[in-house]
Chains A and B, each alone.
Chain A
């Protein structure tokens, strides 16, 4: 589904990603862990198409097509979803209106008809229940005045609405208390199918108790330095990043 080969990217001339290789197949959950500044969020942003980063080398294909040929909105329409680490507020634009526009854009792209209001509201209710989001939130403006936890839940709600092929969760667990963490993780698990894939970017092993990864990768200084199964996350939690550094003789 996603194939990253030797990806290099920089911001304002400073190289952040220094040759990433990663393959993600349908039905898989990958966890990417790493210390602050290792390039985790940059990787997510580059894949989603944030133009403040410059791709200097390497290639990425998504469902067999060159990802960098496409604008950010086209990538989203193709089924790439990013759960933002810091979701943006858009005052005056209601969640309902925002989601309806997004859902219909994506449906149009897939050659489906736009949803009628009543059908849309039905889907909205179902998905809200699925991810246990407070019904009041969808009546408010996009992320405006939401607490940190509400913003993250709202990201998962949007993921549920848009039914992406590949979801990238950028530190979705940061700033969440244990109850919110459970709700968010449950949402992600419920949305899991054999056809879609998830990349979980996180600092801590905690989230991976709830979302169990098939593969764990450790990102350090712009490169994946170690890959393994879920045990790797446990080891990392026990020994810390210093252990990786020593092990890899970095």
Chain B
């Protein structure tokens, strides 16, 4: 009985990664290894102003004195940081006028991913800043956005064209010495996105970036900075897939968000990086620092993520609720399968008065994977009337996987109201049988039950992303279905 069910679960959860392919684009890369000279070369290749080089060098010097964090519930193999290429850009320089000039291989890659740029351009309401390895290849809708004074470009372009803004905000939310991986990113970050929404502007479309790790052995060090001025609104989408690889690939990104008075930023992620094969070989190491500063009064920052990929995920999108009445939200679905490990969650730091935060985390573990939620709620002494609600659910498929919850509370104000709910459930044989009895096959039944379980979070995603996320959940758990 139980073994029979395990067998079924085994079969349907042993699915291999569907986006395993490599694009052959000539890469212009620096040699392996990291030292001050490499950093100077990165900065020079990108034509950066002096302040940027100084920023990088300072971060590098701090990084040298730091150690890899080991407090997470993860088993991280030792990483040789001198065996990594820190800069790689497609040889043919970007800045194309039309699609004809874009490397056909690249277009093919996007086609395989089901996100051809041409179609994306036509998809009303979605601007795409496609990041292939480390350099922006194509930015669309720039002009429409420019009419409203919105800046949406690669961070490299922003450094060139808007150095004052970059200088003012870069590193103010995630300082270079925040943690080991943040320091590394600050030293070597190659590219990423920059968003600036001027005062009183509501961004008319979802801003979307597709990231993709490509050249072999290239660590990706994306850097994203989003600034929302007073009374502005923006919804930003980040989606990822990566080609199949044998070597482990390091990814250490930083995302910084600043929301000023009455501003709202919604940041959604669907992450599907290569998780390694079903024996646990290969796969992306994803060490990300994402943090939003709700700086202004009545500001709001909302993180929504659907995480199905990576061999190791170490990620805690956080909100610093500095402005009075500011709001922070975190909605997460994290799926681990086979030998994947995830230690993910959020930090809600209540600094202002009447600040409010909501955390909904849904973990799904299958195969031999380990899935941990780690969350901190901190209320400082002067943060009167802070409120937090946290709900952490875990769903287990089979009996070889693990789910763990690590909630931390630091409350220094008596008026705070903090609630935490946690549940762990096993996908029920009875639920599957009930579906079977209505003519629904076991694979489809599992997909249906899992999507039902994650619905609360999926519903927070923008429509077209939600559909993609549902598909991903099925693909990552169901083998042939999708």
The interface of chain A, by Cβ under 8 A from chain B, is 48-52, 71-73, 76-77, 81-82, 84, 87-88, 90-93, 97-98, 101-102, 105-106, 109, 141, 158, 162
A162 to B439, CA, bound (A): 9
A73–B451 CB distance below 8 A: no
- Given A91-B452, A93-B451, A101-B444: A48 and B439 interface contact (C-beta under 8 Å): no
A71–B436 CB distance below 8 A: yes
Residue on B nearest A161 in the bound complex, by CB: B438
Inter-chain contacts of A109 with B (CB < 8 A): 439
Q: Residue A88 contacts which of B1, B430, B452, B453 (CB distance < 8 angstroms)?
A: B430
A106–B439 CB distance below 8 A: yes
A90–B434 CB distance below 8 A: yes
Q: Could you pull out 18 A-B pairs where Cβ atoms are within 8 angstroms?
A: A49-B437, A73-B439, A73-B442, A77-B439, A84-B434, A87-B434, A88-B428, A88-B430, A92-B455, A92-B456, A93-B448, A93-B452, A97-B448, A102-B438, A105-B439, A105-B441, A106-B439, A162-B439
Number of A-B pairs whose CB atoms are under 8 Å?
77
Inter-chain contacts of A97 with B (CB < 8 A): 448
- Given A72-B433, A87-B434, A98-B448: A92 and B440 interface contact (C-beta under 8 Å): no
- B78 within 8 Å of A (CB atoms): no
- B392 within 8 Å of A (CB atoms): no
A141 to B180, CA, bound (A): 45
B431–A88 CB distance below 8 A: yes
Q: Residue B453 contacts which of A48, A84, A92, A102 (CB distance < 8 angstroms)?
A: A92
A98–B428 CB distance below 8 A: no
Inter-chain contacts of B430 with A (CB < 8 A): 88
Q: How far is the CB of A164 from chain B (nearest CB, A)?
A: 10
Q: Residue A102 contacts which of B429, B440, B442 (CB distance < 8 angstroms)?
A: B440
A184 to B4, CA, bound (A): 35
The interface of chain B, by Cβ under 8 A from chain A, is 1, 4-5, 428-431, 433-442, 444, 448-449, 451-456
Residue on B nearest A77 in the bound complex, by CB: B439
B448–A101 CB distance below 8 A: yes
| Interface majority SS (helix, strand, loop, mixed), chain B | helix
- Given A88-B428, A88-B431, A105-B441: A141 and B436 interface contact (C-beta under 8 Å): no
B441–A73 CB distance below 8 A: yes
Q: How far is the CB of A7 from chain B (nearest CB, A)?
A: 19
A141–B452 CB distance below 8 A: yes
Residue on B nearest A88 in the bound complex, by CB: B434
Residue on B nearest A71 in the bound complex, by CB: B436
B428–A73 CB distance below 8 A: no
A141 to B437, CA, bound (A): 17
B439–A102 CB distance below 8 A: yes
Inter-chain contacts of A49 with B (CB < 8 A): 436-437
Q: For the complex of A and B, list the 9 residue pairs with the smallest distance between their C-beta atoms, beginning with the closest.
A: A92-B452, A93-B452, A72-B436, A92-B455, A102-B438, A76-B439, A88-B434, A105-B439, A73-B436
- Given A90-B431, A92-B451: A82 and B456 interface contact (C-beta under 8 Å): no
A37 to B431, CA, bound (A): 24
B437–A76 CB distance below 8 A: yes
A62 to B429, CA, bound (A): 25
Q: How far is the CB of B426 from chain A (nearest CB, A)?
A: 13
Q: How far is the CB of B482 from chain A (nearest CB, A)?
A: 15
Q: How far is the CB of A99 from chain B (nearest CB, A)?
A: 8
Most buried by B among A77, A90, A105: A90
Residue on A nearest B453 in the bound complex, by CB: A92
Q: Residue B437 contacts which of A51, A72, A92, A93 (CB distance < 8 angstroms)?
A: A72
A114 to B442, CA, bound (A): 20
